[in-house]
Chain A
Amino acid sequence: MAERVRVRSLYPPGHVRAPAYLRGRTGEVERALGCFANPEQLAYALKAEQKRLFRVRFTMAELWGADAERPEDTLDAEIYEHWLERI
């Protein structure tokens, strides 16, 4: 059973690696991709923490609602763990 997650609906200023159109949306983890230095810290030349990165799969229906031309199609996006919450 795939793990379901929601992209956190936060809107801080600065260099954010979770696109706004995905924030607040729910998807399922397609796979874990390993750990990478947090680009949101690297962008400011700060010492970066290692963060887990996940490929998350969303349906077009979830992203665009009634506007989705093909609601069953899916979109994969790679999102860092600190932008995800389990549901």
Chain B
Amino acid sequence: MTDKPNDPAARRWHDMGGASAGPVPMDGHDFALWEKRVDALMVLCGSKGLLSVHGLRRVLEDMGEEAFENYSYYDRWIAAINQNLVEHGVYTLEELGTRMADVAARGGTYGEATDG
């Protein structure tokens, strides 16, 4: 050993290598339509140079530990994609807010898939 073990206060919360962990869940899971759309949006934005995996990770890390306790995987992804697109000037927060209100007005079942 070259020095004392890394100071837990010095490492950032997401940097979990070497930390204790519980069992790995091995059961599979299905994806909702909106989750598939988030995945597609990530690929599309990447192909247009608006988002990289590095930019995605940076925002996920900055969300903090609480976001990982309270939000789902794709909840965090869409938040990170959104943050990067706003930073790139693809749209403004005002435009986003207006569109979110429009979509919400369509009703709670609008986004549900009927044929998988």
When chains A and B are docked, how far (Å) is the Cα of A76 from the Cα of B17?
13
Q: How many residues on chain A are close to B (CB under 8 Å)?
A: 25
Q: A34 at the A/B interface (Cβ < 8 Å)?
A: no
Closest Cβ neighbor of B60 among chain A residues: A15
Within 8 A of B (CB), among A22-67: 22-26, 39-40, 42-45, 62-65
When chains A and B are docked, how far (Å) is the Cα of A24 from the Cα of B10?
12
Query: Are A62 and B2 in touch, CB under 8 angstroms?
Result: yes
Closest Cβ neighbor of A41 among chain B residues: B54
The answer to whether residues A15 and B17 also contact, given A20-B10, A25-B2 and a CB cut-off of 8 A, is no
Query: Shortest Cβ distance from B42 into chain A, in angstroms?
Result: 15
A15 in complex: contacting residue of B1, B11, B57, CB < 8 Å: B57
Interface residues of B (CB under 8 A from A): 1-3, 5-7, 10-12, 15, 17-18, 52, 54-55, 57-58, 61, 84, 87-88
